[in-house]
Amino acid sequence: MKVWSKYWHGDSLPFDGPGGILAHAFFPRTHREGEVHFDYDEHWTVGNDVGTDLLQVAAHEFGHVLGLQHSLEPDAVMCPFYSDSYPLQLSEDDKRGIQYLYGPPLHPPPEITETNELDIGMPDACRTDFDAVSMIRGELFFFKSRYVWRIRDGQLQGGYPALSSRHWRGIPDHIDAAYEDKSGNIWFFQGDSYWVFDAERKITGPDSVRKLGLPVTDIQAALKWEEDRVEKVYLFKSASYWPFNPQENRVDDVYPRSMYEWEGVPSRIDAAFRDRYGYANFLSGPHYWKLDPVALKVLEGYPRNIGMDFFGCSAFLSK
C-alpha cells in the first residue's frame, strides 16, 4: 500500500514539509509490512531534475519493503541519501543484498567478455566517494577517476566536473592524493609515483616515491599541517601516517605514526585536506570528519555527508 501523507499521519514517523525526510517504508514481518508513505509536500516529478524524482525514491523504499537495510555504498539505490542519477540502476551492493535475502536468479545472466579497459563515465558527486581532495589557490578540488570538481567560496563552479587533464596535462587518470605546498606547487601521488606542477605546468614526474624516503606506495591521502610553527605534510596509508618535510623533500622517519592518537578519525580514509579555518578534514566513503588541530579530536556533529555539505545534494530518503 502506498500513502501520500503530511506531517503526523498515524505511524509515529511524521514528515517535515519540503526537504528533509522524503518517504519511509515498513520492513517485512512488522505490523505495517508493505506500506510505503511519501511526503505529500515534496515537489514530486519523474525523469527530470526539477523536483524530487518519484521513481528514485520509490525504488529505495520498495527495497525496504523487501527487507533491505541502508547501504554504505554511495552509488547504491539503498544509499540513505537522495540522488537524481539517471538511468536508475541497481549497484552490485543492491544485487548482493537482495540475493542474500531471496537467493540468486534462476537464470544467471550471460558472461561478458572481460577487457582491461574500464570507464566509469562521469561520476555523480552525490553518489560517489572521492580519490583525493586538495585546497589549491584557496579553492577546493575534488578528484574522482579522470574528473575534478572545483568549489570556490562554497559554490561549485560552472563547467565542472571536468577532466583533470584540462588543468594538469600529464596527470594520471586516477590519483591517490594531492596537496599544494607553501610555494604554490601542486603535488600528485599515484601508486609508486609522484608528479609536481607549477600551476598547470609540469615540473617533474613521474618520479618514484622512494626518492622521498617513503617506505610504502599507494598512499591514501596527503594533508598539509603545521607542527611547532613548521609546515609539515602528512602522508597516510591504512591507519598510519608519515610526516613529510617539504623543506628537504623527504619523510622525517621511515617508521610510521599511528592515526589512533587523533580521536574520532576513521582508520581507513580516502582523502584529506586542511580548510581555510585550519581544520583538518578526512573523507571516507560518502562522509567526512572535521578534526580540531589543537585538541586533536573530531568536532561534535561529525561525520557529515560530503554530497550534502559540499555539492548541495538533497537530504535523507528515509530514517
Residues with Cβ within 8 Å of 117's Cβ and at least 6 positions away in sequence, in order, are none
Partners of residue 107 on adjacent β-strands: none
Q: Tally the residues of the chain.
A: 319
How far is residue 283's CA from residue 222's CA, in Å, rounded to a whole number?
A: 12
How far is residue 261's CA from residue 298's CA, in Å, rounded to a whole number?
A: 11
Catalytic residue among 33, 35, 42, 61: 61
Does the active-site annotation cover 42?
no
Burial class (CB in 10 A: 0-12, 13-18, 19+), 137: exposed
Q: Which residues are catalytic?
A: 61
